[in-house]
Amino acid sequence: MPRIYETLPPVGRLQMALRVMTPTRLAQTFADFAGQFYDRSDFDSLARQVSELYDLESAEHAHLFRSQLDRRLCDRFQDPVAWDVDTYQKGHAA
C-alpha cells in the first residue's frame, strides 16, 4: 500500500512540507541534502519553487527560507542559491 505522500504530485509534496515544517527547519533540511544533487541547478530550481510557494502565503516566510538556506549553504562552503535566474545567468555567461 502506498504511503500518502507517494500519491501526491511533486508540487503537492512541497506544499505538504511547507505545512508541517517551519521555513528555518525546511531551509536546514534543504541545506543538508544540497550535496545529493548531481546538478546544482536542479537544487536551486527546487529551492526557488519552495520560495515561490512560501511567497504565495507569506512574503516574510519566503524571505526567512531564502536567507536561512543561503546562510546554511555558506556555512557548508557552498554557493548560495541563484534566486534570480536571469541575473545569475548573466553573471555566469561565457
20-76: per-residue pLDDT in tens?
999 999 999 999 988 888 888 999 999 999 999 999 999 999 999 999 999 999 988
Q: Is the pLDDT of residue 94 over 70?
A: no
Q: pTM (2 decimals)? A: 0.80
Q: Domain coordinates of the chain in residue numbers?
A: 4-85
Integer Cα distance of 73 and 37 in angstroms: 14
Helices and strands in the chain: count of H runs, count of E runs: 5, 0
Q: Which three cell numbers stand for residue 68?
A: 536561512
State whether residue 8 is helix, strand or coil.
coil
